[in-house]
Chains A and B, each alone.
Chain A
Amino acid sequence: MRIAGRKVTIRTIAIYVIVIAVTLIMLMPFAWMLSASLKLSRDVFAFPIEWIPSEPQWQNYVDIWTKIPLALFIYNTSKLTIIVTLLQLLTSSFAAYAFAKLNFPYKNTLFLGYIATIAMPWQVYMVPQFLLMREFGLNNTHLALICLQAFTAFGVFLMRQFYMSIPTELCEAARIDGMNEYQIWARIMLPLSKPALSTLTIFTFVTTWNDFLGPMIYLTKTELKTVQIGLRMFISQYSAEYGLIMAASVVALIPVLVVFLVLQRFFVEGIASTGLKG
């Protein structure tokens, strides 16, 4: 068979059929969410599904902002996410430079400490961490969440793996040219590590934006809550308002979608070049 002058085999058709079918399964819940967000609650479960509502209820997207302080939740989450991501990128790449390119006493011991905690589930130490934060008087503050998410072993490890792949001769040449270590980090390592920085940005942004258990434990005051626990609160308060719940869910997804789409071309590259794959 020939389509548009190209030879099309059964095999090619089979591949497309499988890939398209799986893509539909992956995207179906989002399509349903989007479709339901424009319906009246009583129409959400109408079957067969009306994918494009005949009378789209744009009002749902207006109402969600007044039923819960959604704007405040989004502001809180954005603030947390941006601060955590910036701190994470800065401190991780800074520390990773030392682990990858400098020599100092106890380097391996310290690094082993980092590696050992990567595999450690957060849930193992979330209770003592909570008690510690309470001791510091950080309960019901955003600072608590910043502290617990900004300094991760994961970030240091990811950046270090990438820096290891940059030739050391480059640093030596820079040293001979009279650059100090801070300049080498800022002018050579950072610009070269865009894929790794993008990977870390996606990971940190997505994790912080979507974090659920952390804010749930630390933030009990409504005015401090994040989108995810706000959404959860909304679900329990308006459990029958399906249209509104879906509209709020769509809004909660948008920032992650944007960051992901902007940075995703670096993503595979970043995972491949760090050899970290995790």
Chain B
Amino acid sequence: MSISNSVIARDGAPAVPRRKVAVLSKRQRKIRNALVAYSFIAPNFLGFAVFTLGPILFAFALAFMHWDGSNAITFAGLDNFWRLFEDKAFIAAFWNTIIYTVASVPATLLCALGLAVLLNQKIAGRNFFRTAMFFPYVASLVAVAVVWNMIFNPEMGPVNMILYTLGLDPKNMPGWAADRHWAMVTVILFGIWKNMGYYMVIYLAGLQGINAELYEAADLDGANSWQKFIHVTVPQLGPTTFFVTVMLTIQSFKVFDQIYMITQGGPGTSTLVLVYHIYNEAFISWDLGYSSMISLVLFFLVLAVTVFQFRRQREDEA
């Protein structure tokens, strides 16, 4: 402070027009740097705090309240929590979410990995194939769900028509989305078809990170393609596979749109999942406290997977 003050003349005007930085003390510089940094963060953070962080905290509080959105809020204690165990729809939704996850995660993962390995080779039209595989992921869900519904239409759709020409008895034909036993299968197949390309791209990025020398060494040892795949590719892709598993699992817990468009949770409760139940309780029944309690269950499911991921990652790094 004292040194920089000395350049200021008696009348208070700077004697020498020096660069501002020079007249700042260490503390002032620190504050100034922090203010600059905060100015970078502020535009995003303000929106993020108001529209994301705030509602998240509010959601946790709402889970312990009774509210229909217009009349007074009352404290509910654990009422909403105990209600979960008596709510048959919730129990169905919980198990359906688990079934969806357990079925679709490994299937999507294997398809994505297989395709990535194939499309990582130098084949003609590689970029076209990659783009084609990825396109369902970016295509509008509403549009593709409509066509999917029509393709799997039990009476007139091409899929059952093909099964019919192959000699399958019309009586044993799967009813797909309209059939209790096939509805979940339909939704799972749709999910795999839609998401596979995205995870394939992640695997492609993972494959490009593998050191080519490892394959050269394997070649010198006389390894064939399959051996190289099992002993080099798969282990090297370990972190990617783990990441994909976690992302897929979280995504499966959150499944909603495709179910809304294809089965509306039915027939009965055969494809009702957690998010669908949250949606129903909130925007159909206006039971906001209870819907927030179901959200909390979903949150803890996702949290468990995320914590597990961070632990694993730390172990891998250690």
Contact = CB atoms under 8 A, between A and B. Distances in A.
A152 interface: yes
B43 A91 contact: yes
A141 interface: no
A103 B51 contact: no
A119 B48 contact: no
A95 B121 contact: no
A157 to B, nearest CB: 11
B147 A125 contact: no
A272 B37 contact: no
B205 A125 contact: no
Contacts of A94: 40-41, 43-44
Interface stretch (A61-69, A165-173, A228-236): A228-236
A125 B48 contact: no
A277 B256 contact: no
Nearest to B58: A128
Contacts of A235: 142, 146
B272 interface: no
Given A18-B118, A210-B141, A272-B205, A104 B33 contact: yes
B197 A26 contact: yes
B40 A95 contact: yes
Q: Interface centre among B142, B253, B305, by most A CB within 10 Å?
A: B142
B302 A19 contact: no
Given A120-B299, A125-B59, A22 B138 contact: no
Interface size class of A (residues with CB under 8 A): 35 or more
A90 B43 contact: yes
Contacts of A267: 134, 201
Interface stretch (B74-82, B155-163, B168-176, B177-185): B155-163
Interface string B119-157: 101010000011111111011111110111011010011
Contacts of B282: 126-127, 130
B167 interface: no
A105 B275 CA distance: 38
Contacts of B51: 129, 132, 147-148, 151
Interface in A188-220: 202, 206, 209-210, 212-213, 217
15 contacts: A19-B129, A22-B115, A26-B133, A26-B136, A30-B147, A94-B43, A122-B254, A124-B56, A124-B299, A127-B295, A128-B54, A128-B55, A155-B44, A246-B147, A277-B243
Given A127-B62, A128-B59, A249-B143, 12 more contacts: A15-B118, A26-B133, A29-B193, A98-B37, A120-B56, A123-B295, A125-B52, A128-B55, A209-B140, A212-B142, A253-B140, A257-B139
